Each structure stands twice: as C-alpha cells, then as structure tokens.
Amino acid sequence: MHAQLTIVIPAKNEARMLPKLLRSLYAQDYEGISETRIIVADAGSTDRTVELALSFRDRLLVEVIPGGLPSVGRNAGARVATTKYLLFLDADVELPEPTLLRRALWRMQQRNLHLATTNIACREGGFFDHALYAANNFMQHVGSCSKPFATGMFMLFDREAFWALGGFNERALFAEDYLLSKGVARLRFTIVHGRVLTTNRRFQKLGHWTMVRMFVKTMMHSWDDDYFLRDQGYWTQS
C-alpha cells in the first residue's frame, strides 16, 4: 500500500507520555500504519524521549528530527513529508479508539476536506478538568458552523491545503493551532466522531481560571492575527 499519511509529533521531555501515544498508533486498524512515517520533532529533550521514540522502530517507522516550539517542530516535520495527508499530534495524547485514524482519513478522502479534528477528553484529573475539555468540544462544534478551530492535539491536514495556508506561524507565541485552523474554509472542515485522551497538566501548570481567560480572550481576538504574535504568558507561565 502506498503511504498516504505522515504523522508529526513535536516533543520535549515527553519520556512518560510519548510511549503511550506510539503504542496507541501501533494499535490503530488503519492498514497503512506500518508504512506511515512518524516524525518526532524533538526540541532538545534532556530525558529519554529520543531513546524511547526510536525504541519503537521495530513496530513503526519512527524517526527523530530537530524541533523547537510546537509550531517550529510541526513545520519541520511537514517540510520533509511527501504524503497527501499530514497528522499533527501532541506528544501527551493517545488514541484510545483503534478506528479513529482510519475513519478520519476516510472522511477526508470522501469529502475532499482540508482539515479534520476530533474531540478531546482528559484521562485523569477532577471535575473541572473534564468540564473544561467538554466545554472546549462544545465550542469547537459551535464554531464549526462559522469558523473552524482545532487544537494541535489532533489536526489531520491535506498537505497542499496546509502549505497554502502558510503552515504554522512560527512567530506566533500563543494558540498557533487556532490561528492556522481558523483559515480553513468551513465546508472543508469536519470534526470526526471519537476522541483523543490527554492529561490535565495544562490546568495544573496555569490554573483552570487562567486557561479559561486565555480561551475567552482567544475567541474575542479571533479577527486579530497580531494578538497571537504577542506573548500572552502561556509559555512563560508553563
């Protein structure tokens, strides 16, 4: 089977989480997974991230390239890809449903889409962690009626459409995934039924209300691209 997909994962010090993601990719029932290039863009990890990523080469086509901030790492992986589709995943997620990748690709192909995403759920944490991810999913569905948005946890792009949008803005200091996804035409975007699992560490680092404020401000500045080029405290605080 000719490879249709390249997976790009920006990572830094993800020795605890990255193996969970790679195991979940290996468990996908997508028949091309064994021929799918999986690029880990490492931003100078000082733990065993690189070693553990390469330990999966007996099961998956994993390679490691230099990365940086997520936008830099994602673009670096996209530049070396030659396949029709690009899947961007955060290193701290996992795909609990073995059919998700196959179904997402099928939807992209059948409807000639430019971007597909899915829902987010928290594998751990308390009531507020679960509630905030549920709220994110709700707003994502509401927003899909007028202006798409997706997070870097799961962004399946048509590669030509991705580069037509300019890729991830490497000058963006906040919500670079939202900044890119809102440029996708509404009729070329979909939310695939299912979910990816992630952690609550974003809330632990910044606090629930800080994350809520950042989300609200992002929505309020949807039309102001310069807003995303200014430091909103996400990286300095986290």
Q: For residue range 149-190, what is the model confidence (pLDDT) as tens digits?
A: 888 999 999 999 999 999 999 987 667 888 899 899 999 999
Amino acid identity at 52 = L
d(CA 87, CA 108): 12
Task: Find the mean pLDDT for residues 115-132.
Answer: 84
pLDDT (0 to 100) of residue 222:
65
Give the lowest-confidence range in 126-135, 148-157, 190-199: 126-135
Q: Is residue 11 helix, strand or coil?
A: strand
Please state whether beta strands 37-42 and 61-66 pair in parallel, antiparallel, or not at all (unpaired). parallel
Task: Tally the residues of the chain.
Answer: 238
d(CA 56, CA 128): 35
What pLDDT band is residue 131 in, cutting at 50, 70 and 90? confident
Amino acid identity at 86 = L
Tokens of 97: 């449903």
pLDDT (0 to 100) of residue 71:
94
Q: Count of domains in the chain?
A: 1
d(CA 63, CA 127): 37
Instruction: Name the residue with higher pLDDT: 222 or 19.
Output: 19
Q: How many CB atoms lie within 10 A of CB 214?
A: 17
Summarised one tens digit per residue, pLDDT across range 26-39 is 999 999 999 999 99
d(CA 59, CA 155): 23
Residue 143's CATH number: 3.90.550.10
| Residue 213 confidence (pLDDT) above 80 | no
Domain extent at residue 223: 5-237
